[in-house]
Structure 1
Amino acid sequence: MIPSIGYATNHSFLGLKPYKFERPDARPNEVTIEVLYCGVCHSDIHQVKNEWGNTVYPCVPGHEVVGRVTAVGDSVTTHQIGDLVGVGCMIDSCRECEPCRSGDENYCEGPNSWLATYNGPMVPAKKAADEQNHYGRENTFGGYSNVVVVPEDFVLKIPASLDPKAAAPLLCAGVTTYSPMKHWGVKAGSKVGIVGFGGLGHIAAKIAVAMGATVVLFTTTEEKQDEAIRLGATAVMEKDLKEEVDPTNPLTRTFDFILSTVPEKHNLNPYLPLLKRDATMAICGDLGPLEPINNMQTASHRNSVAGSLIGSIAETQEVLDFCAEHNVAPDIQMIAIADINDAYKEVEKGDVRFRYVIDMSTLKDEEA
């Protein structure tokens, strides 16, 4: 076993604090990684507070992990000691279902779905005697820790030209926005709307601009309009939109694709009149029940409202390579692990520009 330390919580209303635990030794197909940096995702807050009703305590968050390989199993061929690598939202899947065999591990249909980097299987094991947890464990501990152990084919390579600190949010925020834009065919000349201008929205805008798209950011915050221009986009205030078709609005029926990155229930109806015929609005921020959709709007122009969940391992490597090639990186603020509880409050208030990344070397202060 590997002695480990991280930051954990034991209840939804408690903050994170130092937590000592043990990780299993690496299996032959696994690599051991010293964690250097870990991004702070709004999903971490949802999970810590059990806002999705599935949290397994104790909870050690963190699924935007950048680190250095310190040991490799006997059968590992793709990574070597000293490599700079990343770990995203998943560390395993059933590998047997059709999505897994097709390279869509994030849509794993196995008995427990995919194995999350923290909080265990995406679908917790049933307690009935005839059910067996595919992974043999009900909890996993994430990257708010000094070390992680991960199967080699769920470990990503960090391109040398990427700042490893800024690479961390790409492992979740980056692929979560890249995957739907790729799936729905965003390309040079596309007109793309991004709803929400936070951690997900700002990197979505940067990626879409790098793809050659014309980008419009929808925001509730007037102060962010200058930020949008800096990113190569224009900004529109959400309050100026109407739920019905507005022929005087120059944005009506002009969008090829709209992506909602808002991490909570949000009224989508004001955006539907903006979609071209056959265009899609995809939701990647909120995983809960949606506000009711006006189907007259969608049916009248054969529009779709769709969901998208993170991205596959291949897509995660793609977005890392794409961002390295196009010099794209999220705007980050570095914090010490001891400041994580205050950082959560700032994320919830929307006062971050635009993603927090934890310098995990500060965890050594807790080990003393």
Structure 2
Amino acid sequence: MKAIIYRDNGDPDVLRLVDRDLPVPGPGEVRVRVVVSGVNPADRQARSGATGPKGFPEVTPHLDGAGVIDEVGEGVDRSRVGQRVWLFMAAAGRPTGTAAEFTVVPAGQAVPLPDEAGFDVGASLGVPALTAHRALTVAEDGPRRLRPGALDGRVVLAAGGAGAVGHAVVQLARWAGATVISTISGPEKARLATAAGAHHVINYREGDPAAEIREIAPDGVDIVAEVALGANLALDLAVLRTRGTIATYANDGGRPVELDVLQNMVLNTRLQFLVLYTAGSAVRAAAAEDVAAAVRAGALPVGEEHGLPLVRFPLDRTADAHRAVERGTVGKVLVDVTS
């Protein structure tokens, strides 16, 4: 089979296309013929060594993807052979991710993909959708699971609603019944956030964004899903309700975070940092169940018309796909693996 590998951490040039033997699923595992592989900032960080040195002599990257189960290991129902699935955390603690024609994952990390949902949808879930779910379920008095009605009466602020995680926050929050506000940096991203389903879009570079958000939510925002905490914390605190939650999954721009302790004490702010790796298997499994339900309901479409442009590369140009992620390409970067 064809696979992308790297043997050393570094820039995208360390990625190579090679031939490898077909992997064999072990007990509790499934083998998937990968159709589309999704590329996330986490994949770039792992390849570069930003999150620590690689754990294996050779690594096939990418956490997310979608395809068809073609073989199962001992203990897995053989009826799953031929099932369309989406994959999450494929390369987490394992040497083989989805940037290959076939990959092997624990059966629970291969989630059934409805026939009406394309492989592009499946490959765009994983890290973005599960991260969004986590951000929406960590509030002190909020739900731990998402379903229609779970966020009725709540106001969610999706910082950077045109990004992959922000896009999933908008879609999942709206599916669960929240009023969704998205902050954006210009007209094009406003168009994308609106297409994703945001009820309101606010340009944080113009006018008085805090006043505009407070006009929509006089009592304050319940949950902020934050992509750039250092840059946006002042705005977040200006619009957060008492006992509100700021769930931060990134700090784009790298600006240092300075906390006014008294201000946050008075607000009873919950500042929740999150990353899927250490969220726990039960949290990830619950998130996957809820995301799968949202997919079945048609709540997580992708494509420019749905607010998430797709930027595609063939397998032999996976290095270019990583460069696109590094450049901050708007939308979801995908690698087409097999037809």
With normalisation by structure 1, the TM-score equals 0.75
After superposition, the C-alpha distances for 1:291-316 in whole angstroms (9 at most, x for unaligned) are 22222321111111112223512321
* Superposed displacement of residue 23, structure 1: 6.4
> 1:144 is matched with which residue?
99
What runs of 5+ residues in structure 1 fail to find an aligned partner? 90-116, 121-138, 363-368
Q: Secondary structure at the match of 1:182?
A: coil
- The aligned counterpart of 2:157 is 193
Q: Which residue of 1 aligns with 2:3?
A: 6
Letter in 1 for 2:326: E
Equivalent position to 2:326, from 348, 353, 360: 348
Contact 1:207 1:328 in 2 (8 A): yes
Q: CA deviation at 1:84?
A: 1.0
Partner of 1:101: none
Residue pairs, 1:169-318, within 5 angstroms: 169-184=124-139, 185=142, 187-196=151-160, 197-233=162-198, 234-240=200-206, 250=215, 254-262=220-228, 266-286=231-251, 291-310=257-276, 311-318=283-290
Secondary structure (helix, strand or coil) at the match of 1:141 reads coil
Task: Report the 3-state secondary structure (helix = DSSP H, G, I; strand = E; otherwise coil) of the residue aligned with 1:188.
Answer: coil
Distance 1:7 1:221, change over 3 A: farther
Whether the 8 Å contact between 1:45 and 1:344 is mirrored in structure 2 is yes
CA distance 1:35–1:7, change in 2 (3 Å): same
**Matches of 2:213 and 2:51 in 1, distance apart?**
40
Which residue does the alignment assign to 2:51? 52
- Aligned-partner SS, 2:136: helix
Structure 1 counterpart of 2:325, which letter?
V
Alignment-derived partner of residue 77 in structure 1: 77
**Runs of at least 5 residues in structure 2 that lack an aligned partner in the other structure:** 143-149, 277-282, 304-309
Offset, 1:329: 1.6
- Alpha-carbon contact 1:193-1:259 (below 8 Å) kept: yes
Q: Distance in 2 between matches of 1:270 and 1:205?
A: 19
Aligned residues: 311
Partner of 1:110: none
Distance 1:69 1:228, change over 3 A: closer
Equivalent residue, structure 1, for 2:24 = 25
SS of the equivalent of 1:258 reads strand
Is it true that 1:361 corresponds to 2:338 in the alignment?
Answer: yes
- Which deviations, in whole Å up to 9, do the C-alpha atoms of 1:121-180 show, x marking residues without a partner? xxxxxxxxxxxxxxxxxx512100111122323321112332222121212211110222
C-alpha separation in 1, matches of 2:212 and 2:97: 49
Distance 1:69 1:249, change over 3 A: closer
Q: Displacement of 1:22 after TM fit? A: 4.5
- Deviations along 1:84-127, whole A, 9 cap, x unmatched? 122201xxxxxxxxxxxxxxxxxxxxxxxxxxx3263xxxxxxx
Q: Over aligned residues, Cα RMSD in angstroms?
A: 2.9
Equivalent-residue separation in structure 1 for 2:204 and 2:261 (angstroms): 21
The percent of aligned pairs where both chains have the same amino acid is 20
Q: Which amino acid aligns with 1:29?
A: G
Of 177-186 and 31-40, more deviation after overlay is shown by: 177-186
Partner amino acid, structure 2, of 1:118:
A
Aligned letter for 2:5? A
The residue identity in structure 1 corresponding to 2:332 is R
The letter for the 2-side match of 1:164 is: F
CA 1:201–1:241: 2 relative to 1, 3 Å: farther
Amino acid at match of 2:61: P
